[in-house]
Structure formats: structure tokens, C-alpha cells
Structure 1
Amino acid sequence: MGVPGSWNLVFNDDFNSLNTAAWTPYWFDDCDLKSVKNNVKTCSSNVRIANGEAVLQLSDVSSGALLSTNPNDGVAGHTGFQFTTGYAEARIFFPGTCETSIRNWGAWWTAGQAYPSTGEIDIAEPLAGDMWSVYHSAAWKKSRVVPGCWAGGYHTYGVLRKPGANEVYYDGVLVHSYATSDNVSPHYLLLNIGVWRGARILGEAGAMRVDYVRVWE
């Protein structure tokens, strides 16, 4: 949706099971202080597959969840996935309501192997209840609040990586575009949930749910 052209599907996960050849369910060290992202330890026990979704939740205020396709994380049997130019999209449910805003600190993003020179693309990142699209690199940071209600429902969030530029699409609509300085270095995929300022919802009620992740080139 929203990105016309002739595309070849190169990565597709509908989360009927946890494909550990593609994903590692923590950041390098399972539920260890070395595994912290978004202010929490990333614990495989907080990731589960149910009803064709990846469910990422907080078990307490210091323990969250993460999925990564980083091929260089050193986990045995994990080959991972990276891409350069192309379109990456996920269909995600972020917890909260339109009246109360997005809860917890979830994120759908991609990253290169040598931050910040190889860049980081935060496709959808709720910060203090608002939805943000953020780009980090050694040269600059580009960020934008995306208006609308993104809490309590399923939406698609995607990024089109092109040489020297990114385009971010929500529900097939272009919401953010900017120049890049990462030389379209290979990026891996990440999904995670942590804690930010404001109300925190622990357990399944505050889970981030991912219906699918797909990449086209």
C-alpha cells in the first residue's frame, strides 16, 4: 500500500511460530543488565507467539521484550536478516487508547552495525504517548511527531529506503521524508517495548502486538 512499483518479497514473517533463525528474542544477553533497551532488560520470557502475532510485554518496570534480526549478535543458530534499499513494513498494535495516548515505550526500527555512522531508522516510536518517526545518523537527526490516533488499534508502519533518502508510510500514507547519510548500509530489523515517562501498563494488557513483518526489494 502506498508504495507503487515492481517489488520482490525478500522477508516475510506472519508469526505463526518464533523463527529463531531470523529473530533473537533479546538484545545480546537474555534478561541481563547487558541487554537493556528502552530502559529495561530484554527478556525472552516476555516474548510469545499467540494467534499469529508476536506479543511483546513488560513483566515489571525493569523487564521488557525485544526481537532482533541482527546477524552479528553471536547467538548460535541465528542467521538473521539485513537489507539495504527497499521497503520494510510491519502491522502493529500499540497499547493505549485515543483518550489516554500510547502507553509504554514500544518501537519498530532498523539499525546498522556501527551506530551512528550506519544510521538508525525509528519507523514508529511512541515517546511520552505521542507517535514519532525519527532518524539518527552521525551527520544529523531528523524527527517528526505524526498526528493522529495510533493507540489501541492495528496500523501498518513502513519505511522506503532509497540512496540518500527515506520515506516513512503509515497505513500507506507518506508521513515523513528526509535525506539520509548512512550510505544505505545494511540494516537489521528490531521490535521492542520498554518504559517511558507516564503511565506504564504491565503484562498482556500493555503488550505491543505484531501481526507481520515484511521486506520488499
Structure 2
Amino acid sequence: MELRRSPWCAMPAGALALLLTALAGCSGSGGGPASSARPSASSSRASRSVMPLGIPGDWHLVFEDEFDGTSLDTAKWSTGNPFAPGAIAPPVNDKELDCYDAAQVAVRDGMLHVTAEARQQTCGDRTLPYVSGMVNSRDKFSFTFGALEARVNVPAAAPGVVANWPAFWAVGADWPHGGENDVMEGLHGLVCAHFNSAAASTGSCSDTGLTGWHVFGAEWQDGRVDYYRDGILVATLTQGITSAPMWLMLDNAVQPAIGGPTSLPATLSFDYVRVWQRRSPSPTGSSAA
């Protein structure tokens, strides 16, 4: 399985670095400064009625998880690889250096935590040097078009440098034809957003560090995706945008040739994940378990 941004990842390292540099100059800094304050469960509950940050429209909420409990809500999420499920599972991209271990996923203090650490583990037919976690909503929630948003604490390897290969994204079942929407992904120490499909792979990266707490969002429309960082529109993509239903993916992978510098242990945390759709959606707009 070569999921997870493989059109970009397959590029030679030098070419990818040049592309990211060029994109960084076009995207802007992507919002205000990081907040170091850790959100409380009560603040999450109080904010449930809010609309997508900076994304205009008449929205209704179709999915939310505020992570206010003490364990993962298995009515909404599964752990591990959605294509090869199990308590210990191989990664979705063969270039990752980590196995997925359900024990690396925890809900506490009003947040979801996905922790990568150095521990040798066998998964599939390989033994890898690291373990980490993934959660996904396959067969539990999917949607076509709408706004998706998460408040994320992005791990840092150094001030402003994203550690490892964290991501908040959505993917269609028939990949790459179903598409892949990477709302927040750490590439070469930068926060990036891009859309991959069989037709095209385009994206944009920050020109400043976006570690710590930030809100990452996207509005997925027919033939267009707008990306937001801390409520500020930072990129619009119109090539290769698909219209098949997607489910949500949250993971914290390790691969320094693609992501940022390896810095372990490292925890990717989510205050909330939400999805909205317009109150008068297009006929193809839907959400389904």
C-alpha cells in the first residue's frame, strides 16, 4: 500500500526540497502565533456550537469528537491501518519506519494523543525501529464535500521545526482515484497541505514554523479545496480534486527523508476534530457511517 502522499513522496529528495521551497514562498505564514496553553475539557465542550474558523458559510455540524472522555470513542474511530487492521499493524505507506500499535493512542485531559517512540516492533513482514499510532473513521463516518477542522498540537524537533511526519487528513476508499486531502502534514520540518489523486498532486507549505497549538481547516467543494491555518485562507487548489466520499485519518509517522527530523518520543495531540456541511448541500454532499 502506497497511501499517504505517495506522488510527492516518490520524488527524489532534492527535487522535493526545491518544490517545497518554491511552494513556501507562495503560501504565507498561515496564521497567528502558536498558543502554548493546553485546552481544557470544559473549553472544548463550550466551543461545540462554533462554526469553522475563518470559513464563511451556513454550516451544520455532521461529525465531532471533543475527546472529553477517558478512552477512544470506538463508535467514531478505529485504531491502526484501515486497510490492514489489527492491534499491531503495518503502516499505510511502505516508506514509514513505524508500526502502528493501538497502545500508542490515548484519550485524556480532553485531548487525543498519538505518540511515536523508539521501540522495535514487527508488523506485517517487517521489523521496524519505531512504533506510533493512527486513528481512522473508515466504516464509521465518511463525507462528500464540506469543511473539516482540527485544533492540533504539532510536535517540534526544534523551535518552529515540525518533528517526524504528523498528519490530519482524509482519504477515499478507491485510492488514488478516490483522492487524498492532506489538511495538515509535516514535510521536511514545515506544515503543508495538499490534495493527491490519480489526476494531479498539488499543494502548499508554510514559510514559517507552525509547531505548537494551531487550528487547521479545509473547505472541500466540487473541483476546489480551500485550506486555512488559524482561520486564515492560505491556499486554494483546483487540480485533481475528487468527489468520492472520504473518511478521516490522524497519525504521527516517522520518516526523516519525508517528514521532519526524527525526535522521539513525540506526541501529536488533538483538542477536537469536526466536520460541517452546508445547510443546502449539493446533491452529492453526504455523510454516512
Q: Give the TM-score taking structure 2 as reference length.
A: 0.67
For 2:171 and 2:229, locate their aligned partners in 1 and report how far apart those are by CA, in whole Å: 19
Partner of 1:202: 264
Q: Over aligned residues, Cα RMSD in angstroms?
A: 1.6
Could you give the per-residue CA deviations for residues 17-70 of structure 1, whole angstroms, max 9, x where no partner exists? Answer: 31111101111222133x454432111100001110000011324211101001
**Mapped contact 1:39–1:194 kept (Cα < 8 A):** yes
**Residue 20 of structure 1 pairs with residue 71 of structure 2:** no
**Mapped contact 2:98–2:132 kept (Cα < 8 A):** yes
**Residue 10 of structure 1 pairs with residue 10 of structure 2:** no
Structure with higher helix content: 2
Structure 1 range deviating more: 121-130 or 190-199:
190-199
**Mapped contact 2:157–2:263 kept (Cα < 8 A):** no
Partner of 1:121: 181
Unaligned residue ranges in structure 2 (runs of 5+): 1-52, 119-128, 278-289
* Change over 3 Å in CA distance of 1:100–1:175 after alignment to 2: closer
For the pair shown, the structure with the greater C-alpha radius of gyration is 2
Structure 1 range deviating more: 179-188 or 166-175:
179-188
**Mapped contact 2:195–2:241 kept (Cα < 8 A):** no
- The one-letter code matched in structure 2 to 1:63 is V
Pick one of 79, 87, 90 that aligns with 1:30.
Answer: 87
Pick one of 122, 125, 132 that aligns with 1:64.
Answer: 132
Unaligned residue ranges in structure 1 (runs of 5+): 72-79
For 2:191 and 2:155, locate their aligned partners in 1 and report how far apart those are by CA, in whole Å: 12
Partner of 2:31: none
Query: 1:82 Cα deviation (Å)?
Result: 0.6
For 1:82 and 1:200, locate their aligned partners in 2 and report how far apart those are by CA, in whole Å: 32
SS of the aligned residue for 1:70 comes to: coil
Residue identity (%): 29
For 1:201 and 1:145, locate their aligned partners in 2 and report how far apart those are by CA, in whole Å: 21
Partner of 1:170: 229
For 1:15 and 1:97, locate their aligned partners in 2 and report how far apart those are by CA, in whole Å: 26
Partner of 1:179: 238
**Mapped contact 1:31–1:63 kept (Cα < 8 A):** no
Could you give the per-residue CA deviations for residues 60-100 of structure 1, whole angstroms, max 9, x where no partner exists? Answer: 242111010011xxxxxxxx111111100000001116635
Pick one of 97, 112, 122 that aligns with 1:54.
Answer: 112
Could you give the per-residue CA deviations for residues 79-125 of structure 1, whole angstroms, max 9, x where no partner exists? Answer: x1111111000000011166351111100000000011110011110
For 1:32 and 1:2, locate their aligned partners in 2 and report how far apart those are by CA, in whole Å: 37
For 1:189 and 1:139, locate their aligned partners in 2 and report how far apart those are by CA, in whole Å: 21
Query: 1:127 Cα deviation (Å)?
Result: 1.1
Partner of 1:192: 251
For 1:134 and 1:125, locate their aligned partners in 2 and report how far apart those are by CA, in whole Å: 8
Instruction: Count residues in correspondence.
Output: 205
For 2:238 and 2:160, locate their aligned partners in 1 and report how far apart those are by CA, in whole Å: 33
For 1:26 and 1:114, locate their aligned partners in 2 and report how far apart those are by CA, in whole Å: 18
Superposition misfits of 4+ residues, deviation over 6 angstroms: none
**Mapped contact 2:160–2:210 kept (Cα < 8 A):** no
Matches within 5 A, 1:55-94: 55-60=113-118, 61-71=129-139, 80-94=140-154
